[in-house]
Amino acid sequence: MKTEPVEADLLTQIDLDRLPQHIAVIMDGNGRWAKRRRLPRIAGHRAGISAVRQAVEACARLGVPYLTLYAFSVENWKRPHTEVKLLMNLLREYLKKEIGELNRQNIRLGVIGRIQELPKPVLQDLQNALDQTRQNAGLRLTLALNYGARAELVDAVRELLANSSRNGAVTVDEATLSAHLYTHDLPDPDLLIRTSGELRLSNFLLWQVAYAELWVTETLWPDFTQKDLFQAIIDYQKRERRYGGLGLG
Ligand code: IPE
Ligand code: IPE
Ligand code: MG
């Protein structure tokens, strides 16, 4: 793959022994990107797909094991029906088109969210993509679809209680609750990226980002490239993570 000079320079600044193990991204700003170009919002979403490819490829290249992308929130149903419908179609298109490339890059697809509430055809394409990439052992790419962190916590508690009524006892501690989240087989994110400059979590992974490093860029999601991801990692590696302790001073 061709590496341009700026990208090569950024790459040399990354310590491959201290990569974030899990990067989570709030992909935001598609609508504003389109508006600036006097295009319909969906054109921004479409352009956002190439940024998804950039982020995925950058992680796969570096060897970051987990990447989680916030693609559709439980609150996003509030948008006009036409936008939601077009977003679902775009997702189907992505899932169908991308399987070959995901397999080529040894990427395993995963999903978090209330996916059973997604339209049937979307669910079928999703299931198909999950099945067809299941054997891959490289990057674990998780899409958050119809995802809300509060919904996830509610679902986790419901599952805990349902299990307890079967055997009579219920354990409530951090490990047990974590084990019932959609993300039970993912480590907590080390780095949370949000594009388009908004300083909020928008109901994304509230539990899991307790000690994630936050990195916000003004860049709108469709303009996001591998260079942005490399820069985020470089900045992340300069941070001191103290987890409430005193750190190294
Ligand atoms: C993010 O872009 C994509 C989704 C939420 C699906 P937006 O559609 O939120 O873009 P802005 O925030 O309106 O610019
Ligand atoms: C968050 O972006 C959801 C996704 C990126 C899928 P939104 O655009 O929906 O968030 P708010 O409304 O600005 O908080
Ligand atoms: Mg937005």
Q: Is 55 exposed, middle or buried (CB count within 10 Å of its CB: 0-12, 13-18, 19+)?
A: buried
Report yes or no: 14 and 64 within 8 Å, Cβ to Cβ.
no
Q: What pLDDT, on the 0 to 100 scale, is given for residue 3?
A: 78
The residues with which 72 forms a beta bridge, in sequence order, are 145
Q: What pLDDT, on the 0 to 100 scale, is given for residue 168?
A: 78
Q: How far apart are CA 23 and CA 188, in angstroms?
A: 9
Report yes or no: 28 and 196 within 8 Å, Cβ to Cβ.
yes
Q: How far apart are CA 28 and CA 215, in angstroms?
A: 13
Q: By alpha-carbon position, which residue is closest to atom 13 of ligand 2?
A: 202
Both tokens assigned to 190: 């080390």
Q: What pLDDT, on the 0 to 100 scale, is given for residue 231?
A: 98
Report yes or no: 148 and 78 within 8 Å, Cβ to Cβ.
no
Query: What is the whole-number distance in angstroms between the Cα of residue 28 and the centre of ligand 3?
Result: 5
Domain boundaries, the chain: 18-237
pLDDT tens for the chain, 249 residues: list them. 667 889 999 999 999 999 999 999 999 999 999 999 999 999 999 999 999 999 999 999 999 999 999 999 999 999 999 999 999 999 999 999 999 999 999 999 999 999 999 999 999 999 999 999 999 999 999 999 999 999 999 999 999 999 886 677 888 999 999 999 999 999 999 999 999 999 999 999 999 999 999 999 999 999 999 999 999 999 999 999 999 999 876
Report yes or no: 182 and 155 within 8 Å, Cβ to Cβ.
yes
CATH topology of domain 18-237: Undecaprenyl pyrophosphate synthetase (3.40.1180)
For every residue of the chain, DSSP letters joined together read ----HHHHHHHHT--GGG--SEEEEE---HHHHHHHTT--HHHHHHHHHHHHHHHHHHHHHHT--EEEEEEEEGGGGGS-HHHHHHHHHHHHHHHHHHHHHHHHTTPEEEEES-GGGS-HHHHHHHHHHHHHHTT--S-EEEEEEEE-HHHHHHHHHHHHHHHHHHHS----SHHHHHHTSTTTTSPPPSEEEE-TT----TTSSTTTTTTPEEEE-SS-GGG--HHHHHHHHHHHHHS---TTS-TT-
Query: What is the whole-number distance in angstroms between the Cα of residue 30 and the centre of ligand 3?
Result: 7
Q: How far apart are CA 229 and CA 166, in angstroms?
A: 46
The residues with which 94 forms a beta bridge, in sequence order, are none
CA torsion 181-183-186-190 (nearest 10°) is -100
Q: How far apart are CA 241 and CA 104, in angstroms?
A: 35
Query: What is the whole-number distance in angstroms between the Cα of residue 29 and the centre of ligand 1?
Result: 5
Q: How far apart are CA 60 and CA 68, in angstroms?
A: 13
Q: What pLDDT, on the 0 to 100 scale, is given for residue 166?
A: 66
Q: Locate tokens 């929130």: which residue?
A: 73
Q: What pLDDT, on the 0 to 100 scale, is given for residue 185?
A: 98
Amino acid at 174: E
Q: What pLDDT, on the 0 to 100 scale, is given for residue 1?
A: 61
Ligand 1 pocket, residue 72 CB under 6 Å: yes
Residues with CB under 6 Å of ligand 2 are 26-28, 70-73, 76, 198, 200, 202
